[in-house]
Chain A
């Protein structure tokens, strides 16, 4: 879900470039864009994020080479992963103050689902950190985010290499299902430990007449992944429109 969110054509995080698909295909929309100061800040932000996720990517590779196996690589990149993924919360602020033309609600939803997985599942339930499913979504996220942030950087500078655009709209075909599987498997793996420890749960009776069962909540979260295949096929459809539109543009150049 979080992977899909990040690669969803509808999310923008810089210039008009983020608004792919409908935005670029129409062109009838007036692109006001952020002012020069905001653009500079956003370029810095996106460059920093690209660098951050590259650090995570390199960290994964180095850990794999050092250990000789792909198990339990999470521990080697735990800190930068937490730092840079949590840093994405700023993107909600960007939408709220208007320097990025995306919907606050949509962006919040996407970023919060990522942050939830990092902190409320992986960090909180220590036993799942050695699971392979964690590696699955970390790799998916890493590749997606490197491409996404460099896409935004180039868009803001009005010089988007076709390769980046192609990558953004093509690699999701593999990365999206990969990421969703990793996330779902991780949550599923966490369930028994949550039940056992009564993690984040409160039961009756208590002073505020309230109860919360984190186990049931996680199951609801898993159920909420159900509409994602629909989004996936929508994105594939959008891809055809966006990439063919660019092809036509190139013909006229």
Chain B
């Protein structure tokens, strides 16, 4: 327990029905920690106390999440009998004092580091930097710091003072493993397919029989497919460099092997058949190719429009999240029906490419991509719903009205 400094108590009556918000005198609720001591009346016993998060100046209104916490804590105390409905609650507030931060290993509980002289308003990001000084192999992006060894990771923006910790803050550390930046991963995984497809297109030796080395296909659609495929990946590379704004800087290193295997593998598999000397052009000929090309171009433009719209939602360097809405660009009107129209357009691009080339491996690639994007879209949709009360109800995650 903390050594309590001089305190200025006030009495709060627990309301008759716990559903009501507690009203605290304004002076008590400030941006500081406060500590409740319950002195059950009429027979005062040992005070029961809970540390808690700071609450807003509104006091215990419904907007303050700590109010719910407190309401629940108090009502369970009433249920268990340590408090009576007629108990009076004394509350005090005082500025939180820290005398240091200790960092323990989440698995072994071994003390890894003790940081003294940490400012109360220091952020987790700053603490991570301090920790790296004593353990340089664990750079900040590799650190996961949490209040509970099995709990959720603290965010970089969290402020030490606002965390429910004692005078010596105890944080648990988990090594997230070697990290690699998202930009690096994206650039690597997209450059591969671009290059690999061209190897097959130009029929580099040892892929097809020797008599086909460096020959060119006599089908127009094969040349068109090369242009589309290359355009798609060049677009992705440029977007990675100039458009996307990433929430996280890094991901675990092993992801690059997984992702590159997927992209490079499928690119090689598709390219092999499309550029094969025995390639069979689509059944419905130029009609089919033209239609597929039109859909492809529309979806590429759509996908790009969505990426630009998402970029404009978030200012440079920030990590804010807002609900995306349709803009003047007609391609963004898909936001009315779908949470992740970028995935919808991406799916459309690949289906049209499959139609254009009439190649089963492309269709299988589209299917696998669809499965993955659906999982991502559902996750994104769920987190939008959780974060925003007023999220448009008509929207589905990836396919309008269906999925």
Binding site for B on A (CB under 8 A): 204-211
Quick one: which of B279, B357, B361 contacts A205, CB cutoff 8 A? Answer: B279
Q: How far is the CB of B354 from chain A (nearest CB, A)?
A: 10
Q: Which of B270-278, B296-304, B336-344, B386-394 contacts A (4 or more CB under 8 A)?
A: B270-278
Q: Report yes or no: B358 in contact with A205, Cβ–Cβ below 8 A.
A: no
What is the CA–CA distance of A125 and B360 in the complex, to the nearest angstrom?
27
Question: Which residue on A lies nearest to B269, using beta carbons?
Answer: A210
A209, B283: Cβ atoms closer than 8 Å? no
Which A residues are in CB contact (< 8 Å) with B360? 208-210
Please measure, in the bound complex, the distance between the C-alpha atom of A206 and the C-alpha atom of B276, giving whole angstroms: 12
Cβ contacts under 8 Å, B187 to chain A: none
Choose among A204, A208, A211 the residue that contacts B358 (Cβ–Cβ < 8 A).
A208
B226, CB-defined interface residue at 8 Å: no
1/0 per residue B275-292: CB within 8 Å of A?
Answer: 010111001000000000
> How many chain B residues touch A (Cβ–Cβ < 8 Å)?
12
Could you tell me the distance between the alpha carbons of A189 and B360 in the complex, rounded to whole angstroms?
31
CB 8 Å contact bits of B23-38 with A (1 = contact, 0 = none): 0000000000000000
CB distance from A205 to the nearest CB of B (A): 4
Residue of chain B at shortest CB distance from A205: B278
Interface CB pairs A-B, < 8 A, 10: A204-B278, A205-B278, A205-B279, A208-B359, A208-B360, A209-B273, A209-B280, A209-B361, A210-B273, A210-B359
Candidate in A207, A209, A211 with the most chain B CB atoms within 10 angstroms: A209
A195–B249 Cα gap in the complex (Å)? 50
**Complex: A73 Cα to B274 Cα, angstroms:** 48
Q: Using Cβ atoms and an 8 Å threshold, which residues of chain A touch B361?
A: 209-210
* Residues of chain A with a CB closer than 8 A to B280's CB: 205-207, 209
In the assembly, what is the distance between CA of A209 and CA of B361, in Å?
8
Q: Which residues of B contact A209 (CB under 8 A)?
A: 273-274, 276, 279-280, 357-361
In the bound assembly, the distance between CA atoms of A205 and B274 in angstroms comes to 11
Using Cβ atoms and an 8 Å threshold, which residues of chain A touch B273? 204, 209-211
Q: Which residues of B contact A206 (CB under 8 A)?
A: 280
Name the A residues within 8 Å of B358 (CB-CB). 207-209
Q: Mark B349-387, 1 if CB is under 8 A from A, else 0.
A: 000000001111100000000000000000000000000
In the bound assembly, the distance between CA atoms of A66 and B279 in angstroms comes to 57
Docked pose: A210 CA to B280 CA in angstroms: 10
Residues of A within 8 A of B359 (CB): 208-210
A209 CA to B273 CA, complexed, in Å: 6
Main secondary structure of the interface of B (DSSP, over half): loop
| Measured CA separation A206–B357 after assembly (Å) | 13
How many angstroms from the CA of A240 to the CA of B94 in the assembled complex? Answer: 55
A126 to chain B, nearest CB (A): 29
Nearest opposing residue in chain B for A204, CB measure? B278
Cα distance A204–B278 in the bound complex, in angstroms: 6
Q: How far is the CB of A201 from chain B (nearest CB, A)?
A: 14
Quote the shortest CB–CB distance from A177 to chain B (angstroms): 30
Complex Cα distance, B359 from A209, in Å, reads 5
> Shortest 6 CB-CB distances between A and B: which pairs?
A210-B360, A205-B278, A204-B278, A209-B359, A208-B360, A209-B273
Residues of B within 8 A of A208 (CB): 358-360
Per the bound structure, the CA–CA distance linking A204 and B359 in Å amounts to 12
Question: Which of chain A's residues has its CB closest to B362's CB?
Answer: A209
Report how far A211 CA is from B278 CA in the complex, Å.
11
A130 to B226, CA, bound (A): 50
Output the nearest chain A residue to B274 by Cβ-Cβ distance. A209
**Shortest Cβ distance from B279 into A: residue:** A209
Q: Tell me the bound Cα distance from A208 to B280 in angstroms.
A: 8
CA distance A61 to B69 in the complex (A): 67
Smallest beta-carbon distance A16→chain B, Å = 20
B278: A residues at CB distance < 8 A: 204-205
Residues of A within 8 A of B357 (CB): 209
Min Cβ gap B325→A in Å is 37
Q: What residues on B are CB-neighbors of A207 within 8 Å?
A: 280, 283, 358
| A205, B279: Cα distance in complex, Å | 6
Please give the distance in Å from A203's CB to the nearest CB on chain B.
9
Report Cα–Cα, A93/B201, bound state, in Å.
44
Cα A209 to Cα B354 with chains together (Å): 11
Contacts of B274 in A (CB 8 A): 209
A210 to chain B: closest residue by CB: B360
Chain B, Cβ-Cβ closest to A208: B360
Instruction: List the B residue with the shortest CB-CB distance to A211.
Output: B273
In the complex, A252→B276 CA distance in Å?
Answer: 71
Nearest CB on A from B208, distance (A): 11
Q: How far is the CA of A206 from the CA of B358 in the complex (A)?
A: 10
What CA separation (Å) do A211 and B276 show in the bound complex?
11
Bound Cα distance A211, B361 (Å): 9
Chain B: CB-nearest residue to A212: B360
In the complex, besides A205-B280, A208-B358, 15 extra interface pairs with C-beta distance below 8 angstroms are: A204-B276, A204-B278, A205-B278, A206-B280, A207-B280, A207-B283, A207-B358, A208-B359, A209-B273, A209-B276, A209-B280, A209-B359, A209-B361, A210-B360, A211-B273
Q: Which residues of A contact B276 (CB under 8 A)?
A: 204, 209
A210 vs B357: C-alpha distance when bound (angstroms)? 11
A18 to B73, CA, bound (A): 38
Q: Which chain B residues border A211 with CB–CB below 8 Å?
A: 273
Closest-CB distance, B285 to chain A (whole angstroms):
13
User: Cα distance A209–B278 when bound, in Å?
Assistant: 8
Q: Please, how many angstroms separate the alpha-carbon atoms of A204 and B360 in the complex?
A: 12
CA distance A143 to B327 in the complex (A): 66
Among A205, A206, A207, A208, the one with the most B-chain Cβ atoms within 10 Å of its Cβ is A208
Q: How far is the CB of B10 from chain A (nearest CB, A)?
A: 41
Closest partner residue, chain B, to A202 (CB atom): B360
- What's the Cα separation between A206 and B359 when bound, in Å? 10
Q: A204 vs B212: C-alpha distance in the bound complex, in angstroms?
A: 15
A206 to chain B: closest residue by CB = B280
